[in-house]
Amino acid sequence: MIDAEQARSWKTAAQLYNSAVAASAIAAAWELGALDELHDKGVLDAHEFAARNDLDPASTLAMFRALAAVKIVERDGTRVTPAADFAEIQQTRSFFHWLTRGSGELFRRMPLVLQNQHRSGELDPRDPAAVTYACREINALTYDPWFWSAVDGIDFDFTMVADLGCGNGDRLIKILQRHPKANGIGIDIAADSLKVAETDAVGAGLSDRLTFVTADVRTMDRRPEFTEVELLTCFMMGHDFWPRERCVATLARIRDMFPDVKRFLLGDATRTVGTPDDELPVFTLGFEVAHDMMGTFLPTVADWESAFAESGWRIRHKHVIDMTVGEVIFELEPA
């Protein structure tokens, strides 16, 4: 017989274990359309959903069992309905997808990654396409309202915009749709993400106004079309510029490579300061632990501010978002 204290410990362990399983189920249910169907219709039958989407029925029901175990859905046999916590998970689902689908291999390798003998060469085994898939919605949730406020406040007409680390090109496509006289350049190191961007640009009827370049922003070569860029954007990749010496050099090089830029909108996460580990909000811990494992320095707001000053950029405005990972958009201009 186990005593009451042991029983509580086992229950805590079960909750942690079941939550880990459910995290993957959330990502799968979003990617397969189950979360949206539950949101829109309020009910679905697991076996009918499986048949309609050519899924294995037993595995599909197992996915919903994992969600029910942590009270995201309620299940009566194969009948599935949203539970009390469904709305919050529906809003934050992209964070779970980033963790389990995009960064799952990194966390699986944690025991090896922590050993110094394995900390050479490439330390980022993440799935770039899955990260891009998640980041599209993460952007919409955390950055977009402030980003569009900054764009709408630009006090000049721009005809060429470039997005550093453009991913699937979603931001560029939306900018060009709002500004029909502008052209755009998307730059990203992930060729798979740019394939998605090119396809989406064609679908949006913008293939004649958008070009994409596969390159590492930190080391890319100069291109003639860069001299035409007046608006520069960069979101959720600026922390890859660091540590400090490299960041200052990269920012100065960007200033030199895009000589006609009038405004640079740089949005990124910043390192949390002073928040206890057990009070961190959703996404913060996964994001910071993942980047620590990869050896990627996450700067604080103060770190960024000093780097801008040293590299030839001046802050016009600072849009502080701070929803999950200390998000901030710096509105910069050449100093």
Helix, strand or coil, per DSSP, at residue 69: helix
The tokens of 318 are what?
């600072």
pLDDT given for residue 70 in this prediction: 97
Nearest to 257 by CA among 210, 187, 153: 187
pLDDT value, residue 168: 86
- Summarised one tens digit per residue, pLDDT across range 14-32 is 999 999 999 999 999 999 9
- Of 288, 276, 293, the closest CA to residue 95 belongs to 288
Position of tokens 């730059």? 187
Structure confidence at residue 1 (pLDDT): 63
Residue 159's pLDDT is 96
Give the whole-angstrom CA distance, residue 230 versus residue 182.
10
How many angstroms from the chain centroid is the CA of residue 237?
A: 9
Query: CB-based contacts of 204: which residues, under 8 Å, 6+ apart?
Result: 173, 177
Q: What is the pLDDT of residues 270-281, one digit of tens each?
A: 998 888 999 999
Give per-residue pLDDT as tens, 83-139.
999 999 999 999 999 999 999 999 999 999 999 999 987 788 999 889 888 988 998
Judge contact between 137 and 94, C-beta under 8 A: yes
